A and B are shown apart, each in its own frame.
Chain A
Amino acid sequence: MRASANSWGWGRGRRGAGQVVIYLLLCLVAAIFLLPLFWMVSSSLKPEWQVLANPPVWIPTPPRWANYREALTYLPFGRYAVNTLIISLGAIVGHLLSCTIVAYGFARLAAPGKGFFFALLLSTLMLPYPVTMVPLFALFNRLGWIDTFLPLIVPAFFGNAFYIFLLRQFFLTLPPDLEDAARMDGANTLQVLRHVILPISTPALATVVIFTFQASWNDFLQPLIFLQNQSNYTLTLGLNFFRGSFQVNWAYLMAASLVVVLPVVIVFFLAQRLFIQGIAMTGIKG
């Protein structure tokens, strides 16, 4: 039996009025959400002096497509994109490997002191970054990692409280029957994790991938501190250049921002398909 119900509990075959209402709602909300985006696109196609014109120009005629080419060649964005991609992919792999294991431990295994460690885990999210930034920089400086990608990738292989927490919550919602069955068949923890839990955790894993990619791609403070040589810069550092200290180069900034955000959007669009597939609760035999 395939998973077919949505959270309203409507089964297959419900058509007609329900669908229309849904579509209307979706379109209405989408219109509201798209407003700022529309404005960004519109601004990105204007000559600089027209961006802040009052009364505002809604659709620039003619649209200045050259802005995109100029904005992206302003600085070596290709290089920055590669840098950012390496960092993001590294972080994704690191998180997927480490956070799943740790989260499973917190979700399913009992041990004395577990509550303490979980509280400790959460507490790491609570200290504001401007304060930990300086000691972290000094630490990575001692290790000789400044101006490399290492401070941005290596910590991901040691877990991340946010994603560990997320996965732990998700694992807790899964009924333990499948795992119990597997253990009775003699599987150890890692095998249970790999063969039983992970295949049915695709929405949560997709979430980790989406959020990690976005966080790395858009990260500003960490690259600001840890990278120095401009050829190591990431895209957000590059975008910041459009913000001169007295003047924002609006049209270029909007154009470049839209291009920079594209991969994140595409990753999301592809990964969110996993939410549709949902959990295939094939019948448990026996």
Chain B
Amino acid sequence: MKKHTSAVWPLLCLLMAFTLLAGCAPVPAAPALPAATVPAAGPAEGSKIILRVGTGDSGEGLTPHQEIISRFEQANPDVLVQLEAVAGNDYYTRLLTQIAAKRPPDIIQIGDDAVPMFVEKGALLPLDDLIKGQDGLDTSIYLPGLAEPGKWNGVQYLLPKDYSPLGVYFNKKIFDQFKVEYPQDGWTWDDLLATAQALTQDTDGDGKTDIWGVQLPASWTSGFEYWVAASGGRLISEDGKQFAGYMDSPEMQTALKFYADLYNVHKVAPPPADLAMWGGGNTEFDQGKAAMRLFGRWPQAGYKTNPNIDLGVVGSPAGKERVSVLFWGGFGIAANSEHPEAAWRFLKFYAGEEGAAVWKDWALPAVKSVADSSGLSKDPIEGVWISELSHLAPRAYVSTPFWGQTADPALRKALETVLIDPTADVAVVLKAAAAEAQKALDEQMAQK
């Protein structure tokens, strides 16, 4: 009858051992954050103000945050900053749940196309008074185009956290191998096609492509806005009310056809590996099997240390227009934050020169003076990204707060369709997309 106890002791010992081991495991030298067992919100009675900062960055991307936080805390000993990081889309799940219960963090990170929605719903504090006030901030310190995404209806709600324009990576190794000239700034769509064709090779004669010309980001909708803008088109009317006539315009058809043809007709782009992953889940460029890649600056650090790649970067090719598009994330203050004054101090520090000084080691700083003084503006690679900021075309979300519910799903479906079915008629697909987006938009407007 007592036989069953024989397993209990090993179990208990194991669990205890594990606890001990886990307790002794090395902890990195990150600033010690308080283990809160009582809710952090609420007025600080004579002790420090606790500022909660929500962010969707993860892993190594948190290091600049932590560095900035520790510098801020040293300069502001009455404030304790608590970073609440959640990777990826789960960040929004948690944020929205917190907002629903009226308990968001004091400082919130919002991605560019979600800004209008969050502002319209009253989640953010307008910053204009604080910017112009005593402890204000001079927003002209930013590089061109970086303050705008944080504005809605002329009022500033967020300040820049990080950003990236769209550009083209290229692998010099492959170019050298096939003796093709490196792409130059000012190049065109035709140049892109010609270069990609010259570099799409079947090196072992087995009938399958081994090296691809250009890796494209599959059904990534925001990225596709580059193609839309470069073809001279727009996704939505300026007043934000009409998709018909815009999403299915001849310019859009040109853009989508060119894009789809790169995959299906000229076959210079590797087929998407996974449509659920941002960018199509392709890894050819990472492995040195694609000569070019159209994307943002985010994976650059890995490319610089990747032995398969000898990295070069060039601006986006010109279609009918020479443009690039910007992807941006910013920080704002929650409308019902209990510490707006302290939150502003932190936001100003973070988004101003002090924060930029830290960011320059990790990503492109938003502040012009820091970009110049650190030499990044002149760097052969980083300088390309910065100069792309002079060619920005506005994205569709600036015309409507309903990008996520209307244009995004319709465009995604259109892109998926042409990628999955090479025989699809681009005009038909776009007409269907415009109709779908319009229907969703009309419904949203009716509810307003």
Contacts and interface: CB of A to CB of B under 8 A. Distances in A.
B27 A244 contact: no
A76 B28 contact: yes
Contacts of B74: none
B97 A85 contact: no
A48 B303 CA distance: 11
A241 B26 contact: no
Interface in A207-255: 224-225, 228-232, 237, 240-247, 249
A77 to B, nearest CB: 6
B287 A228 contact: no
A72 B97 contact: no
A72 B21 CA distance: 13
Given A79-B27, A225-B94, A245-B89, A231 B35 contact: yes
A74 B58 CA distance: 11
B19 A266 contact: no
Interface in A181-230: 199, 202, 224-225, 228-230
B82 interface: yes
A224 B94 contact: yes
A224 B87 CA distance: 10
A97 interface: no
A219 to B, nearest CB: 13
B422 interface: no
Given A76-B30, A199-B4, A240 B86 contact: yes
Interface in B58-89: 58-62, 82-89
A276 to B, nearest CB: 10
Contacts of B11: 267, 270-271
- Secondary structure dominating the interface of B: loop
A122 B90 CA distance: 29
A49 B101 CA distance: 43
Given A224-B93, A245-B87, A247-B299, A85 B15 contact: yes
Contacts of B33: 229-231
Contacts of B56: 245
Contact of B25 (A54, A81, A273): A81
A280 interface: yes
Nearest to A248: B277
Nearest to A77: B25
Interface residues of A, number: 55
Contacts, number: 161
A73 B18 CA distance: 17
Contact of B26 (A73, A89, A267, A277): A73
A138 B100 contact: yes
Interface stretch (B37-45, B195-203, B379-387, B405-413): B37-45
Contact of A54 (B19, B90, B105, B289): B289
A225 B94 CA distance: 6
A78 interface: yes
Contacts of A224: 86, 90, 93-94
Interface in A51-82: 52-54, 72-79, 81-82
Given A230-B33, A270-B7, A78 B1 contact: no
29 contacts: A52-B283, A52-B287, A72-B25, A73-B28, A78-B22, A82-B19, A85-B15, A85-B22, A134-B97, A134-B101, A138-B100, A138-B101, A144-B39, A146-B39, A146-B103, A224-B93, A225-B93, A228-B52, A231-B34, A232-B35, A240-B90, A246-B299, A247-B298, A266-B14, A267-B14, A270-B7, A270-B10, A273-B6, A277-B4
Given A231-B32, A241-B58, A282-B1, 14 more contacts: A76-B27, A76-B30, A78-B23, A134-B101, A138-B101, A141-B103, A147-B40, A230-B83, A231-B34, A270-B11, A271-B11, A273-B7, A277-B3, A280-B3
Q: Which 8 A-B pairs have the closest CB atoms?
A: A78-B25, A81-B22, A52-B283, A138-B101, A241-B58, A202-B4, A229-B36, A245-B88
